Amino acid sequence: MRLRNIPGAEEAVAACPFVIHDPYSFRGRWAEIFGNERPIHIEVGMGKGQFLFGQAEANPNVNYIGIERYTSVLLRAIQKLDNENPPKNIRFLCVDAAELNDIFSENEISGIYLNFSDPWPKERHAHRRLTSDAFLARYDKILIPGGTIEFKTDNRALFDFSLEEIGVSHAFEVVQFTCDLHRTPQLCAGNIMTEYERKFSKLGKPICKLIAVHKKNDIA
């Protein structure tokens, strides 16, 4: 789907102090951006930011980086910033997720959120899915041992694909999953909904969720 260009979006993103414009220069040094050594979680494909803002408010001792490829989408998140009392534990990147390993170093990230990612339904595009083995290999390089991937979607085919990909991964293990999140109390407790999640839930569509853990390297 072609996104509508919003006049002024690029200028607004460029002017926002919460957007890191040269993220490659901070590889291995992201603690400097936040001025502390707290865990860093990233949301890949953050959309309009509802989930990220909710997480940051609920967990002030965690630092959050929202990653969005398109300035027209990132603009909507920027517009939600409270200029009088901006969150200290949020930053944004306008980059392609394929560049994660050029931006973050080994063991620099503690958690990854993938929310309602593009399903890329055609088989020839499977490598572009954010839960494909190609992306799992990227996450493997930046997540700490014991770090987590949390994935939510309304697309059952994508969810089944994700379970299969993680199931054969050497680096990750699915520890919890459900095909009806809002009727699964142990996974729904403290759940923060995205814009899409709220919309689909109102339509009665079940939401799938999985949590995968980054395995520890047992090689001496």
CB 42 within 8 A of CB 101: no
CA distance 52 to 47: 9
Sheet order of strands, 63-67 included: 90-93, 63-67, 40-44, 109-115, 143-153, 208-214, 172-178
> Exactly one of 118, 133, 160, 180 is catalytic; which is it?
118
CA distance readout (Å), 89 to 51, 73, 112, 164: 14, 20, 16, 34
Bridge-based pairing state of the strands 90-93 and 172-178: unpaired
Confirm whether 118 is a catalytic residue. Answer: yes
Helix, coil or strand: residue 112: strand
Element (H, E) at 42: strand 40-44
Q: Which residues does the annotation mark as catalytic?
A: 118
